[in-house]
Amino acid sequence: MKTASVPWIFSKKSAVLIVVDMQNDFVREGAVMEVPMAREFLPQMKRLVETCRKHEIPVLFTSHVLYDHYDVSPLETAYNPVLQQKGMRASTDGIQIVSELEPQPDEHVIHKHRYDAFYNTQLETLLRNVRGPHVVDTVIIIGTVTNICCESTARSAFMRDFKVVFVSDANGGLDSESHQATLNIISKVFGRVMATEELIEEIVEKNDR
Catalogue all structural domains in the chain, each as residue range(s) with its CATH number. Answer: 12-65+98-205 (3.40.50.850)
Going by C-alpha positions, the residue among 182, 142, 134, 185 that lies closest to residue 162 is: 134
Look at residue 2 and tell me whether its pLDDT is greater than 50. Answer: no
Mean pLDDT of the region 88-114: 98
pLDDT digits (tens, 9 = 90+) for 147-173: 999 999 999 999 999 999 999 999 999
Look at residue 1 and tell me whether its pLDDT is greater than 50. Answer: no
pLDDT digits (tens, 9 = 90+) for 9-30: 999 999 999 999 999 999 999 9
The rounded mean pLDDT for the chain is: 96
Give dist(CA 22, CA 38) in Å, integer: 8
Give dist(CA 167, CA 27) in Å, integer: 18
The band of 3, judged by pLDDT with boundaries at 50, 70 and 90, is very low
The band of 5, judged by pLDDT with boundaries at 50, 70 and 90, is confident
Mean pLDDT of the region 175-188: 98
Q: What is the DSSP letter of 203?
A: H
Going by C-alpha positions, the residue among 43, 56, 38, 49 that lies closest to residue 130 is: 56
Give dist(CA 42, CA 61) in Å, integer: 14
Phi (first) and psi of residue 61, to 5 degrees: -120, 150
